[in-house]
Each structure stands twice: as C-alpha cells, then as structure tokens.
A and B are shown apart, each in its own frame.
Chain A
Amino acid sequence: MIRKTQLTWLALAVVLLSALPAQAMRYLTPMQAQKLCFPEADKFEWQQRKFTAAEAAQIQKASGVALKLPGAWYALAMKDGQVIGAMIVDCVKGKHEAIDFVVALDTAGKVRCIEILEYRESIGDEVRRAGWRKQFQAKDTRSKLKLNDDIANIAGATISCRNVTEGVRRVCHTWQLVLRPALVSARRLPKLAAR
C-alpha cells in the first residue's frame, strides 16, 4: 500500500506544477535573433531567394547535406549603409520534429553565432546550450563541421547535435555558393581574395 503521506506529497506536487506558468518551446523570433547576432547593426534587410536546380545541386554536393528548403530566407545586417553580415534561417529534423535555427555569418562567410529559434521536442534540446553552440564560431566552408570531430557531441542528444551541425555546414556553403556571389554581382560586397 502506498502511504497517505506519499500521496499527499504527490498531490501537492501536481497542484504546484499545474499552477506554474509554462514556457513555450519557441525561444526566439528571427527578428529577436538578428539583434542578438548583430547588435551593432543599424538596419536589417530581409530577403528571400529560391534556388535554381543548379544552385541546389551545388550546395548539396559541396556540403554533403540534402537540401530541405527550396530557397533561403535571410537578413542582411547593415551598418552605415554597408553589409556587415547575414543571418540565414534554416531548419533540420530532430528525432521527430523540425528544429528551427539561424546561422549568422560575417561577410567572409565565418560563423558569428548560431541561435535555436524553436525546438519542439522534449528530448535533445541540449543543443540550445550556449557553450555547445559556441563551438561553431569562426567555422566556415573550409571547416569539417562534423560531429565528434571538430564539434563535440552531447550524450543523449546525438541526433539533434548531428543534424544541427550538418545544417550549419549547409548554410555556410549556401552563403558561399549562392548568396554571397549574388551580393557581389549587385556590388554590395567585394569579391573575396582567392583562398
């Protein structure tokens, strides 16, 4: 038999829990994220661009990651009329649900930061930890961006860690192959010196 005192404690715990305000698993909007990623920017210019078949193939080949989205939705961060970087919205799959995230890049294509916008499941959300996300700083298309190699895994959150890592790799290549060249053509960014 379960003791009465145990039941009382359980009942009290349930009442207290139900009284607490619940937090949604949507942590940031893209507009909030842009300010976190580029606090010095004085203007953000949102753009979207659908990929051509050739561009999609190029991104997939270079990153080794399948494209989930038919295009890119991104904000150019501006300061004094100059583009200082871009924040690209992307999503990857967790175990069951999509994980929405953004990758902020400087104009050379190096990662400034990543932010998780929405994590819909209850398991694996350790990818939100700031220290884990910090590992991506300064990575670019020349980095491996591979779990258990240059990115450490979190035990119990392997699927999310791996897929976010691959998502960042895909975004880096999208910037380098498609988005940046378009800005160069529009004379909004200088050409990169040959690597």
Chain B
Amino acid sequence: MRELLKFTCAAAIMASALNGAAQDDDRIDALENQIRAMQQRLDAIKEADAANRPPEWLDQVHGKGLTFGFYGEAKYNMSKGNNGNYFDPHRFVLSPGYKLSDNAYFNAEIEIEHGGVDDKDDSRFRGEVEIEQFYSDVKINDWLNWRSLGVSLIPVGSINLHHEPDQFYSVHRPIMYKYIIPSTWMEGSMGLFGDVPQIEGLGWFFLVSQGLSNANGSIADGSKGVRDTRPDLNAKGDNRQLAYTMRLEYDGASSDSEWLKGLSGSASSYFGNYQETTTTDTDIYLWDLEAKYRWRSGFMKNFELIGDYAQWHFASPDAIADANVGDRMFGYRLELAYHHMLEGDEELIPFFRLEGYDTSEGSKDSNAFADTGSSNYLTYGVYYQLNRHMELKAAVRQSMDDADNTEFSIGVGYQF
C-alpha cells in the first residue's frame, strides 16, 4: 500500500512538472510571437519615418549664404538737341540678398551709373556710385512686416519701386518718373508693410523717410522739377522734418473674377516739408494714381493699357524762390502696348505712349508767377524680349513742343 502511495505521488509530481513545462513553452512561444510582431511594427515605423524624411538631395538645391542679382541697361541716344548722339552705360546694378534668419531677409542694391566715378580731376568717369537700397525686412505676420532702418525706395508709383528694364517698354523710364517722381527716389527711412487680410490682393506700405531739401538744388521749373531736392543720404541739418509715404496697391491676379485678373494699380501719397531758405518753407504733398490692365481674352487679348498720374501740391508756393513754380506740378502717362507672344519667354511688344509733365502749374500770390506751360511727348517703339534675362529696345520720344527735345534711342537691358 505504501509502495502504491509513493508511486502515485511520484507520478503526480512528474505530471505536474511536465504540465508546467508545457505551459512555459506556450508562454515563451507567445512572447516570441509578440516580440516578432513588435519588431515588424518597429521596422515598418522606421521605414515610414525614413520615407517621411526629405531626401538629402532635396536640401542640396537650397542656396546658402549671400547671393547676388543683377540688372542693367546700356543705351545709344540720338537727338537734334545739344546732347547729339552718345553712348550711355546707364545702369549697372548689383543686388545682394541674404537670409538673416527664419523671419528676416536682407536686401540691397549697389548701383553704378553712367560708367562710374573716380577721384581724378577731369576724369572720364563722371557717373555715380550709390547705394540705392539697403535694409532688412522682418516678418511679423502676413499683414505686418517691418522694413528696417536703412535706405529704401519711396513707394510712390510703380516705376520708382520696380524699375528693372523689363518693367517698362521704352528705352528711358517714363518721363514723369524723372521730374515729378524723381526716380530712382530712395531715402534714409524705416517703414511697415503687409497685406490687408480681408481683401486678397490688397497690400499697404507706410514709410517714414528723410524729407526733401535744398542742399543740392531747389524746386524749379523746367527740366528740374523736384529732382535736385533729393537730399544727401547722410544730410545733416537741412531736413527740417521727416516725410511720410502711404501706399495702397491692388493686384487682381488672385481674384475669382476673370476680368479683374488683368488689373493692377496703386494709390500713393507723400507728405513732407521743404525748406527753401532758413526762413522760408512749405508743406509739400505728392499723390500718384496708376493702373494697368491686361486683357486676357477676346479680341483685345494681350493688349495692355497703362494710366499713371502724379501731382505735387505746395502749400506755400511763395516760399519757393523760382517765380515760375506755382502751387502744383504734375506728370502723366497713358500707354497702350500689345504683347505678341512668341516661343518660350520670347515676346515682341510694340507700344505707344502719351506722356508729359508740367513744373509750372497753378498759381501763387507773387505777381511774378508766369505759367511756362507743360512738356508733352509721344513715345513709341518696340520692345523685344529675347528671354527673361535680356531685352532689346528701340524707341522715339517725340516732343510735341520742341523738336530739339525729340530723341531716338536704342537700348539693351538685362535682369538676372
């Protein structure tokens, strides 16, 4: 009996041990399966993560460091007047750009005009070297950016802001941008700009800048206008007050309306004070309205119409010494162009423009005021864009007042 009991106990212990071993094996198998599944999931996640990461070659195309752009224009002018026929390497402009941070960008333009300068007397280089732009823009959000302290273009009229040679079809810039809006008009300044969030396509710009001064010349009638009153960029003492410019611009390319897509334009105003002498000064106010329309369909497709008008108001015209300067000056252009689209970027653009300016308009209290009339031109010619980087131009600027002022010019422009 005792033997039987011993045997039974031993058998029970063995069975229990065997059963435990089998259960352990099952558990190990289950764990192994779990680990294998986890490994597979981990591999899949790693693979997906690797695919989600940009490939190395994507980053290689991103430029790093300082980059340079360029634009320039060279001309040959023929006129009946005193200037005769002459070559002019008018503008040679380098534009450095640098990404300062994730939200700030540096822009500048270094311009050499009319062949440059040197410091010898009787030098053959009597042009100019100038810093045309020099600032950084800091993005705060889509509707607010800060234009840093520096040198900026006064945001009046389209050509003063955008004046690469592919931005106008004539060899010379429209003449209102010489005497009325004294392009290239840049000043020591600081500003704010952005998009108006509620109206897509509407942008704004506010700039505080140096004011005009008489250090280099006065406001004058004739072929001067306000051109000589642009101050030295480090002018000391002759800027009585700051000047303020406000601009609103609209571009319809973002519009849902098909007819609006071809429309762009701006309204801008400049307000400042001009000191003629230490005792005489006047508030001065300039406004400009301009619009462009390019037809996108129908029989007018590829025709472009441009209208631009700028006017100065001088609050106290008697403070201006030139007897022929009244309380107003104005400039205008009305232009029709046709874009004959060729292969690729090639384009042939015949254009016709009515343009002019008047630096002796309005009135003043002084009896000596004499209205000397306006200067008006018909400007027409052909703009041929070889590709996006180069264009050839030929144009006549025919004076409607004085044949000696008529000029025929050919030019070549670059931007890249």
Contact = CB atoms under 8 A, between A and B. Distances in A.
Given A155-B249, A156-B162, 6 more contacts: A2-B241, A25-B102, A97-B63, A122-B139, A126-B195, A126-B254
Interface in B106-126: 107
A193 interface: no
B254 A154 contact: yes
Interface residues on B, range: 35 or more
A126 to B, nearest CB: 7
Given A23-B103, A24-B103, A132-B254, A46 B52 contact: yes
A96 interface: yes
Interface residues of A, number: 56
Contact of B67 (A30, A91, A96): A96
B173 interface: no
B146 A17 contact: yes
A130 B200 contact: yes
B241 A6 contact: yes
28 contacts: A2-B239, A17-B146, A22-B103, A22-B139, A23-B103, A23-B142, A25-B102, A45-B51, A70-B57, A89-B54, A89-B58, A95-B97, A97-B62, A97-B63, A120-B105, A121-B105, A122-B137, A130-B200, A131-B200, A131-B253, A132-B253, A132-B254, A134-B256, A149-B341, A154-B254, A155-B158, A156-B158, A162-B388
Interface in A11-33: 13, 17, 20-26, 30-31
Contacts of B339: 148
Interface of A: 1-3, 6, 10, 13, 17, 20-26, 30-31, 45-48, 50, 64, 68-71, 73, 89, 91, 93, 95-98, 120-123, 126, 128-132, 134-135, 148-149, 152-156, 158, 161-162
Given A122-B107, A122-B145, A69 B61 contact: yes
B375 interface: no
B201 A129 contact: yes
B371 interface: no
A25 B101 CA distance: 9
A31 B52 contact: yes
Given A120-B99, A152-B262, A155-B251, A98 B63 contact: yes
Scoring A3, A131, A154 by chain B CB atoms within 10 A of each residue's CB, the highest score goes to: A131
Interface in B167-198: 190, 192, 195
B301 to A, nearest CB: 9
Interface in B150-177: 158, 161-162, 166
